């Protein structure tokens, strides 16, 4: 670790000690949670910690990946609020705008992101989860506008978003991927309606977006018509592994929750419980080390295909095991319903944590999709054939 | 399966063909009474149907399949306590009204734990309270009844502190109380295990049906071998647990407890995978799969934890070897 | 249970108490083990317990499946030697002869089986394990003989066998299954050589059979030329579920080994160990109940497709878990090499038991094949396509 | 990975390209000495190469990959003990000869367990004996040396009872002995963990290669998704454990022990599945996969059991919460 790194770490640690909110877990409504997210983001922008991955011309920008890692490590270590509301804006929207959009689009939207304008992502559709090429929402060009109808789903916090990164189909002919076009949609346009998804643990972190003849100016297109697939790749590649590192560190920090559960259950002398606890703690350490190593590989430009899938799968399975042990330890008391803590995956509200953990085994490429990637692209095992002759029985 | 058990199963599935059919607690309670379920375990001499425990076991499974709301399991405990108790004035009336559906509640935890997880305590007149010293029916008038809301919404649970000076009907004391309490704990475990297996069967079927209809990458998910193998493993676990369940209805309380732990672990495992098989949709309240997941977890925590029962079962295995 | 059943149970229990060998675990060589198998089989024949599943005209034959179950239950409960050497003879060879062979073949071979002639099975080949239709050993008809060349593998105790149930290819044209022919081969014929397979735990329970221009009289054929597949099905269907019941009961009986292991490790007060032990004991009980229920279904003619696969998979995985716990409990002491006990899957020689357990996860249709059967034929999930177009990458 | 570590890895793979290359124990011992491995951890001031523990960690992994026979791990323990001990007459000579390959053996169990699992005790001159009271080098002349043959045949292990009156060289006593012993147990765990990961990597590669060549039902086994997913899970477990290993070389002894338990469990899991992937052929001595399975089990039992280390690690986690 260099002296500069050390200095940055001290600087942010001091700042967190002064500025970080301590009461973010007390939000009892979605609205209160969103308000606290907004104010925390504004503080980070002001201090120059909100967008360390943006170029140097932006406040706090121009940080190396190593420096970004330090910032997120410290934010995780100090148990500050996760940046949920602004994530799509500062990563996905930023990468799309920076890499693929016109200069005019860029200069219009980027400053607004720092002012607090939030974005959502309109990629997934019912019936097209992990298979983006199957998108069916239809955009028809009529003069200067695209008229868009269709439905999007699993859009993070779309109900609070000002803008949407929208992937739509402009052509049904030819290869599926070639018919996609990428648009920047104002969420306040007529014909856009949003319905939050009621999740099984009581959260409404995602929403469905219904598009009914929405007229989006052609000037809002990113890239050429039919080039949406390539732009979407830039969007999806924008996060460079910091999230899983941050979440792994948070899980490690929350080992104290499990410790408390053992104390509460009066099982501090139970060898079986201690062994499960110790084995899990080691596994959590291992996942943290894996996330660290992954970031190091990115810094060293030494990443292999599949490495990202390994980190995601290791984290998702470990998170499940973490919550599973909590539920088991809490026994009947853990079955009592308690309101969830928004944005906390390791709250010690064990049933909520358990159900929350599915977000990581299913969303963002399910465990099953990650296993395919690892087997095929890393271990060199043959792909599933893409076309098969299905026979009627034997 | 005997004729009797098949009949019980058929009639249950006619009235409660799936989990949605039973969701109105009041209506399904009346339907259970009408099916004669509350009479099932009571000897004919006492006005019941005189069925055996393995017949009751069929009812428990159907209750799990239907994700039955209400305090039916507590009712079975109370009825069993009345059957086993020596005669006393008013016993016949009590039994008759209980068989007709007047609710007597009871804690779904094993004796020695708190008087918590008591279903529908706010509407029942009486509660069965059991310990190794005495088994009594206590009037709930004036009791302190605190809601114990759980993630599983199918059972309305409460914590109960009876008022000190309300009427109590003693059913057993001393060594008889210990024996009766053990027997009741065993019945509770049988009930929870059956509930687990019925629920697991229902949610596995639900998941497999979903895999057959949902397509990804131009084929149904059910064609992916990795998912097929996981489904097969769940089926094996479920069938194995079911065989144990069917063979255990008359088993000793310890064996019933260990069996309950086993079956509830299978339910949890099946439900956990069923949610994963459903993908994102399984995380929304619009799909019922989560309801079974939540009941699976609650069942596991009722009637004594797996840690407790497995440790007891392990102790019994230890005795197989001569101690040095 | 009927009164007759009860009487049979008492009768065999008494007989076992008088006649069963108690020292079968002491065999230190394969030869001694085989000799003890032969003498035990002779005793069972003499007492009428060796072939309860044969028709009434044979000594001890004509027993119902319920009675057969009682016999095997008692043999397992009393920890008598398993019938390994005579298994193929009394089940596979018997069923083949009884159902498919000529009267002359039947009357020639069946009495000899009771006299101790042993058979092996020559189905599996290198490269055709679970996929019998892929058999390549070639038989060419020359006048009154078939001239057979090829190689068979995984033939149980072929090195001690007098006769072989041999499945060979007489035609390479048409559907694969239609080219198979079934022969009864004398193992002493010129051109037959046998090489025991050295197994990783030190056993030699299986052998390879090499066939070099072996001349087998046409009269030794069972069924027509090209009808071998159907005859093989009769061979394979001969065992009706008793083995897995017997093995499950033996595993339950051997729970005392695990109990001893806990005592030996001084961990009788270790809650974690007790829980593992208790959970496993319950699982073993469950597998026993499953095997019982399966036999009951067969008696009631209520069996579903896939039921047999469920029993096999439940047993094989439980056996693995059983041995796994033993290895763990025995810790370093369990790593010390000790000579194996032939024919005992639950010996308490934990590493040997662990390695032996693969015989049940791999042989006789691997766990993977059983899962396919359960998923496809019981749960109704679609089959793997039989032909696929493999593409050269994406 | 640093330049130094890559060089160590490259040179190791040149000399021991696979597990077969190392099977002649005498030859591979000489090769290790020639590669300078026994000098690696010794400071330059004492005539060694002065490499760090994370460099040694690379060597340990390569030893596991090559399924290295012989007492090399014991040698590393003895060398570390000599390095850490205060100077004494003859220390330099001892160290020099040990660096050149003269074997000093040591038990591969943790301090407090018996003096068993001592590799090559029948040919070594001296044994390192460590406890929390003292750490000594004891001459093996006249010792009672009993074979401890294991299912894993790669290490020749013995149980040792040194003769009472042979020369002993004290290396540490009192609190220094306790600290040194802890340090040595930590090094032992690091060595076993590295061995586990190298072995797991080798046997996983072997299994995946086999799946790619073996065909069933007209396609390579590697095309079956159920097997692909299981292979992927093993790869994830292995990579995760490897990351922990690489990050832990300087960790405290307790963390090293828990890390060893984790890595050895992964090795066992990978080897167990690798045998299953091989099918029948994996059960014959002709295929090497069983050799790794047996070493995986032995590694797991050396250096303290998982039960011991995980319980200790769990105790440490408990301290995170304020005790009531």
Residue C267 C-alpha, separation from nearest chain A C-alpha, in angstroms: 11
Residue B283 C-alpha, separation from nearest chain A C-alpha, in angstroms: 5
pLDDT tens for each residue of B187-198? 999 999 999 999
Residue A339 C-alpha, separation from nearest chain B C-alpha, in angstroms: 10
**Interval B96-120 mean pLDDT:** 93
Residue A381: closest C-alpha in chain D: D222
Tokens of D150: 């294991």
Residue D317: closest C-alpha in chain A: A259
Q: In what order do the strands lie in the sheet with D144-147?
A: D118-119, D157-161, D144-147
Check CB contact under 8 Å for C362 and D279: yes
pLDDT tens for each residue of C212-245? 999 999 999 999 999 999 999 999 888 778 999 9
Instruction: Count helices and strands (H / E) in chain D.
Output: 11, 9
Identify which of C279, C287, C276 has the alpha carbon closest to the alpha carbon of residue C252: C287
Residue D116: closest C-alpha in chain C: C332
Residue ranges of chain D with per-residue pLDDT less than 50: 324
**Interval B47-57 mean pLDDT:** 95
Residue C167, H or E segment: strand C163-169
Least confident of A389-393, C38-42, C77-81, C210-214: A389-393
Check CB contact under 8 Å for C335 and D224: no
Cα–Cα distance measured from residue A368 to residue D315, given in angstroms and rounded to the nearest whole number: 35
Instruction: Count helices and strands (H / E) in chain C.
Output: 14, 9
Residue C384 has pLDDT above 80, yes or no: no
Residue C126 C-alpha, separation from nearest chain B C-alpha, in angstroms: 25
What per-residue confidence (pLDDT) applies to C129? 66
**Interval A276-300 mean pLDDT:** 97
Q: What is the full DSSP assignment across D175-243?
A: HHHHHHHHHHHHHHHHHHHHHHHHHHHHHHHHHHHHHHH-EETTEEGGG-HHHHHHHHHHHHHHHHHHH
What per-residue confidence (pLDDT) applies to D218? 77
Tell me the fold of D179-316: Butyryl-CoA Dehydrogenase, subunit A; domain 3 (1.20.140)
Per-residue confidence at A386, pLDDT binned at 50, 70, 90?
low
Nearest to C285 among B233, B244, B319 (CB): B244
**Interval A78-92 mean pLDDT:** 95
Tell me if chain B has a CB within 8 Å of the CB of D228. yes
Which one of A11, A99, A204, A239 is the catalytic residue?
Answer: A239
Nearest to A131 among B216, B283, B290 (CB): B216
Q: Please, which residues have CB within 8 angstroms of residue C270's CB and are 6 or more apart in sequence?
A: A271, A272, C262
Per-residue confidence at A176, pLDDT binned at 50, 70, 90?
confident
**Interval A363-381 mean pLDDT:** 94
Cα–Cα distance measured from residue A261 to residue B208, given in angstroms and rounded to the nearest whole number: 35
> Domain coordinates of chain B in residue numbers?
179-316
Residue C327 C-alpha, separation from nearest chain A C-alpha, in angstroms: 18
From chain C, the residues in CB contact with A385 under 8 A are 385, 388-391
Residue C394 has pLDDT above 80, yes or no: no
Name the neighbours of C, counting chains with at least 3 Cβ pairs within 8 A: A, B, D
Residues pairing with D157 in the sheet:
D119
From chain B, the residues in CB contact with A367 under 8 A are 276
From chain A, the residues in CB contact with C393 under 8 A are 383
Backbone dihedral region for residue B118 (phi beyond 0: left; psi -120 to 50: alpha; all else: beta) = beta
What per-residue confidence (pLDDT) applies to A237? 85
Nearest to A154 among B280, B286, B298 (CB): B280
From chain B, the residues in CB contact with C299 under 8 A are none
Residue A180 C-alpha, separation from nearest chain C C-alpha, in angstroms: 20
Check CB contact under 8 Å for B279 and A131: no
Give chain B's mean pLDDT: 95
Nearest to D297 among C273, C351, C362 (CB): C351
Residue C373 C-alpha, separation from nearest chain A C-alpha, in angstroms: 13
Positive or negative, the Cα torsion across D45, D50, D52, D56? Answer: negative
**A169 φ, ψ (degrees, to nearest 5):** -100, 125
Check CB contact under 8 Å for A273 and C272: yes
What per-residue confidence (pLDDT) applies to A75? 96
Check CB contact under 8 Å for D229 and B228: no
Give the N- to C-terminal CA distance of chain A in Å, as an integer.
64
Q: What is the full DSSP assignment across A223-269?
A: SSTT-HHHHHHHHHTT--SHHHHHHHHHHHHTHHHHHHHHHHTT-TT
Nearest to A391 among C276, C385, C390 (CB): C385
Residue B227: closest C-alpha in chain D: D226
Contacts 24+ apart (CB under 8 A), A191-199: A191/A148, A191/A149, A191/A215, A192/A164, A194/A158, A194/A159, A195/A159, A196/A159, A197/A153, A197/A154, A197/B284, A198/B284, A198/B285, A198/B286, A199/A355, A199/B283, A199/B284, A199/B285
From chain D, the residues in CB contact with C327 under 8 A are 297
Residue C387: closest C-alpha in chain A: A389
**Interval B158-184 mean pLDDT:** 95
Residue C124 has pLDDT above 70, yes or no: yes
Residues pairing with C140 in the sheet:
C147
pLDDT tens for each residue of A135-164? 999 999 999 999 999 999 999 999 999 999
Q: Tokens 């983006």 correspond to what residue?
A: A132
Tell me if chain A has a CB within 8 Å of the CB of D243. yes
Q: Please, which residues have CB within 8 angstroms of residue D243's CB and are 6 or more apart in sequence?
A: A286, A289, A290, A292, A293
From chain A, the residues in CB contact with D236 under 8 A are 310, 313-314, 317, 374
Tell me the H-state helices in C144-270: 228-236, 242-253, 255-264
From chain A, the residues in CB contact with B227 under 8 A are 368
Tell me if chain B has a CB within 8 Å of the CB of A363. yes
Q: A163-169 and A192-196: which strand pairing? A: unpaired
C-alpha distances (whole Å) from D161 to each of A364, A386, D117, D140 are: 59, 65, 12, 9
Residue C390 C-alpha, separation from nearest chain A C-alpha, in angstroms: 5
State ipTM.
Answer: 0.96
From chain C, the residues in CB contact with A273 under 8 A are 271-272
pLDDT tens for each residue of B279-293? 999 999 999 999 999
Q: What percent of chain C has pLDDT over 90?
A: 87
Q: What percent of chain A has pLDDT over 90?
A: 87
C-alpha distances (whole Å) from A87 to each of A70, A233, A285, A288 are: 18, 17, 26, 21
Tell me if chain B has a CB within 8 Å of the CB of C304. no
What per-residue confidence (pLDDT) applies to D322? 67
C-alpha distances (whole Å) from A355 to each of A92, A319, B19 are: 26, 11, 21
Tell me if chain A has a CB within 8 Å of the CB of D310. yes
**DSSP one-letter code for C364:** S
From chain D, the residues in CB contact with B226 under 8 A are 225-226, 228-229
From chain A, the residues in CB contact with C273 under 8 A are 271-272
**Interval B242-265 mean pLDDT:** 97
Residue B229: closest C-alpha in chain D: D226
Most B CBs within 10 A among D216, D225, D227, hence the mutation to make, goes to: D225
Check CB contact under 8 Å for A355 and B117: no
Nearest to B321 among C259, C282, C292 (CB): C259
**Interval A186-214 mean pLDDT:** 97
C280, C329 Cβ separation under 8 angstroms? no
B253, B185 Cβ separation under 8 angstroms? yes
Domains, chain C, ranges and CATH? 3-83 (no CATH), 117-227 (2.40.110.10), 240-378 (1.20.140.10)
Residue B293: closest C-alpha in chain A: A355
Check CB contact under 8 Å for D241 and A277: no
Check CB contact under 8 Å for D246 and A379: no
Check CB contact under 8 Å for A383 and C389: no
- Burial class, C173, CB count within 10 angstroms (exposed 0-12 / middle 13-18 / buried 19+): exposed
Check CB contact under 8 Å for A362 and B302: no
pLDDT tens for each residue of A259-275? 999 999 999 999 999 99
What per-residue confidence (pLDDT) applies to D111? 84
pLDDT tens for each residue of B56-100? 999 999 999 999 999 999 999 999 999 999 999 999 999 999 999
Most D CBs within 10 A among A255, A259, A282, A292, hence the mutation to make, goes to: A282
From chain A, the residues in CB contact with C387 under 8 A are 388-389, 391
């Amino acid at each position: 670790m260099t002296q500069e790194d050390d200095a940055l770490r001290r600087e942010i640690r001091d700042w967190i000690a002064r500025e970080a909110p301590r009461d973010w877990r007390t939000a009892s409504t979605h609205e209160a949670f969103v308000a606290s997210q907004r104010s925390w983001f504004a503080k980070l922008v002001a201090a120059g910690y909100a967008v360390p991955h943006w170029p140097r011309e932006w406040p706090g920008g121009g940080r190396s990946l190593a420096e970004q890692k330090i910032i997120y490590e410290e934010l995780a270590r100090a148990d500050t609020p996760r940046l949920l509301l602004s994530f799509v804006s500062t990563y996905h929207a930023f990468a799309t705008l920076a890499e693929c959009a016109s200069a005019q689009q860029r200069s219009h939207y980027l400053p607004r992101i720092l002012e607090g304008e939030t974005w959502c992502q309109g990629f997934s559709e019912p019936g097209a989860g992990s298979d983006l090429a199957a998108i069916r929402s239809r955009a028809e060009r009529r003069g200067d506008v695209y008229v868009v109808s269709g439905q999007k789903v699993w859009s993070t916090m779309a109900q609070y978003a000002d803008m949407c990164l929208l992937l739509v189909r402009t052509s049904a002919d030819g290869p599926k991927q070639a018919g996609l076009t990428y648009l920047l949609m104002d969420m306040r346009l007529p014909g856009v309606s949003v319905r939050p998804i009621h999740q099984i643990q009581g959260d409404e972190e995602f929403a469905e977006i219904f598009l009914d003849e929405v007229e989006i100016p052609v000037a809002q297109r990113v890239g050429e018509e039919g080039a949406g697939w390539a732009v979407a790749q830039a969007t999806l590649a924008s996060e460079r592994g910091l999230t899983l590192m941050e979440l792994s560190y948070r899980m490690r920090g929350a080992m104290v929750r499990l410790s408390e559960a053992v104390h509460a259950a009066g099982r501090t002398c139970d060898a079986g419980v201690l062994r499960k606890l110790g084995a899990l703690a080691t596994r959590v350490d291992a996942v943290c080390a894996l996330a660290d190593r992954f970031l190091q590989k990115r810094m060293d430009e030494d990443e292999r295909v599949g490495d990202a899938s390994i980190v995601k799968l290791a984290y998702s399975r470990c998170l499940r095991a973490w919550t599973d042990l909590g539920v088991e330890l809490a026994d009947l008391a853990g079955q009592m319903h308690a309101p969830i803590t928004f944005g906390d995956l390791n709250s010690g509200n064990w049933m909520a944590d358990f159900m929350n953990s599915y977000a990581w085994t299913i969303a963002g490429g399910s465990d099953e999709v990650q296993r395919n990637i690892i087997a095929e692209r890393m271990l060199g095992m043959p792909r599933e054939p893409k076309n098969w002759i299905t026979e009627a029985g034997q | 399966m005997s004729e009797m058990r098949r009949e019980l199963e058929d009639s249950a599935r006619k009235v409660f063909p799936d989990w949605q059919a039973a969701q109105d607690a009041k209506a399904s309670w009346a339907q259970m009474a009408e099916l004669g379920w509350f009479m099932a375990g009571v000897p004919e001499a006492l006005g019941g149907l005189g069925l055996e425990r393995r017949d009751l076991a069929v009812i428990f499974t159907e209750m799990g399949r239907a994700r039955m709301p209400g305090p039916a399991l507590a009712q079975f405990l109370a009825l069993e306590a009345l059957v086993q108790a020596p005669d006393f004035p008013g016993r016949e009336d009590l039994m008759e009204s209980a068989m007709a559906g007047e609710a007597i509640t009871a804690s779904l935890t094993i004796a020695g734990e708190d008087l918590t997880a008591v279903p529908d305590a706010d509407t029942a007149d009486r509660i069965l309270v059991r310990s190794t010293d005495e088994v009594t029916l206590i009037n709930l008038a004036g009791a302190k009844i605190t809601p114990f809301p759980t993630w599983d919404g199918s059972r309305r649970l409460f914590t109960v502190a009876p008022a000190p000076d309300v009427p109590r009907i003693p059913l057993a004391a001393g060594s008889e109380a210990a024996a009766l309490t053990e027997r009741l704990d065993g019945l509770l475990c049988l009930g929870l295990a059956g509930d687990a297996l019925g629920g697991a069967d229902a949610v596995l079927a639900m998941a497999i049906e979903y895999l057959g209809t949902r397509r990804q990458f131009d084929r149904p998910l059910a064609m992916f071998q990795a998912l097929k193998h996981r489904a097969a493993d769940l089926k094996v676990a479920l069938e194995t647990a079911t065989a144990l369940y069917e063979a255990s209805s008359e088993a000793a309380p310890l064996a019933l407890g260990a069996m309950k732990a086993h079956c509830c672990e299978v339910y949890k495992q099946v439900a956990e995978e069923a949610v994963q098989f459903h993908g994102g949709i399984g995380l929304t309240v619009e799909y019922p799969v989560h309801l079974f997941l939540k009941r699976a977890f609650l069942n596991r925590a009722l009637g004594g934890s797996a840690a407790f029962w497995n440790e007891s079962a392990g102790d019994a295995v230890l005795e197989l070897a001569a101690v040095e």
